[in-house]
Amino acid sequence: MKRMLSLLCMGVAVPAASAQDNARTLRDVEYAVVDGISLKLDLYLPATPRPPTLIVWVHGGAWRSGSKDRVGIVDILQRGFAIASVNYRLTPVAPFPANVHDIKAAIRFLRAHAERFGFREEPMVIAGASAGGHLAALVGVTNGHAALEGTVGDYTDRSSDIAAIVSFYGASNLTTILQQSTPHGLGVRVPALQLLLGGSPEELPAKAELASPVFHADASDPPLLLIHGDQDHQMPINQSHELHGVYKRLGRTVRFEVIYGGGHGGAPFFDRERLDLVHGFLRQHLE
């Protein structure tokens, strides 16, 4: 009861437990305010006897749309993980690196309030799909990066370090993505990158590199799981191949799961087999 009252005092809605996943959901938890914008996240907490490991989920939407309501991995609650699905400033509101600053601020907030909400402070995982996969990978391989850490939120003394990354069909190299894209992909990526970077990758090569996980990967990076469809006409599978190759050259832990016949998202990426894969990968490398 005391904990319930504490959450309500924070302005957090506390619905009844879901019969489907036997978990509590705390919606619209404010983790920071920036330029008058309230940044919020949703927490999905499984019914487990011990504090669970938290996965920070980053939604997709070409960096310019989407919301925390879209949580492709929600069924992983049944495997004992907690999830924090994060809203961040979209590119029509603020270009890169605002999105990365926001996500890192959310991680710091979550780490500061781990005991209050009932999940483990360490280790912490980040995962995302499409543009969210790109942002998850970028956040994961830039632990402590000064230009990408930002000063959003009230917990800048806390770490935003990540212990493992799961990228579902995400970008990894914004300097090559357009050359790899299909005509359909170009129709999506060209305007999306203009909003993200404030211009094309060719016009802003330094910014495109700053926004590309492949240019940040090093020998200290956390384990990485890549999942991509070989028929993805929107996000080239070569983007995952590039990050996979960099990790292999560095001798870092990486697994690349190709979904043959898979396009850009959909049920095959979040079915029981794939969530079992994610669960097994995380259990192996976090313990």
Each residue of 217-257: pLDDT tens digit? 999 999 999 999 999 999 999 999 999 999 999 999 999 99
Instruction: Supply the pLDDT for residue 39.
Output: 98
* Three-state DSSP state, 153: coil
Beta-carbon count within 10 A of 176 CB: 18
Buried b (16+ CB within 10 A) or exposed e, 178-194: bebbeeebeebbeebbb
Backbone angles phi, psi at 227, to 5 degrees: -130, 120
* Three-state DSSP state, 99: helix
pLDDT digits (tens, 9 = 90+) for 49-96: 999 999 999 999 999 999 999 999 999 999 999 999 999 999 999 999
Q: Which CATH number characterizes residue 101's domain?
A: 3.40.50.1820
Instruction: Supply the pLDDT for residue 41.
Output: 98
- Distance, CA of 130 to CA of 119 (rounded, Å): 26
- 221: tokens are 């990076």
- Distance, CA of 76 to CA of 73 (rounded, Å): 6
Q: What is the mean pLDDT of the chain?
A: 92
- The answer to whether the beta carbons of residues 77 and 46 sit under 8 Å apart is yes
Beta-carbon count within 10 A of 78 CB: 15
Mode of pairing for the β-strands spanning 164-168 and 224-229: parallel
Number of domains in the chain: 1
Beta-carbon count within 10 A of 87 CB: 22
Name the pTM for this structure. Answer: 0.91
* Three-state DSSP state, 126: strand
Put the strands of the sheet holding 82-86 in their side by side order.
23-34, 37-46, 82-86, 54-58, 124-129, 164-168, 224-229, 254-259
Beta-carbon count within 10 A of 93 CB: 13
Residues of the domain holding 26: 2-286
- Distance, CA of 225 to CA of 157 (rounded, Å): 29
- 172: tokens are 């990894």
Residue 31 pLDDT > 90: yes
- Distance, CA of 113 to CA of 135 (rounded, Å): 23
Percentage with pLDDT > 70 across the chain? 92
pLDDT digits (tens, 9 = 90+) for 11-23: 444 333 333 445 7
More confident residue, 14 or 165: 165
Reported as a pLDDT band with limits 50, 70 and 90, residue 197 is very high
- Distance, CA of 62 to CA of 59 (rounded, Å): 10
Determine the average pLDDT of the residues in 127-132: 98
Single-letter code of the amino acid located at 184? H
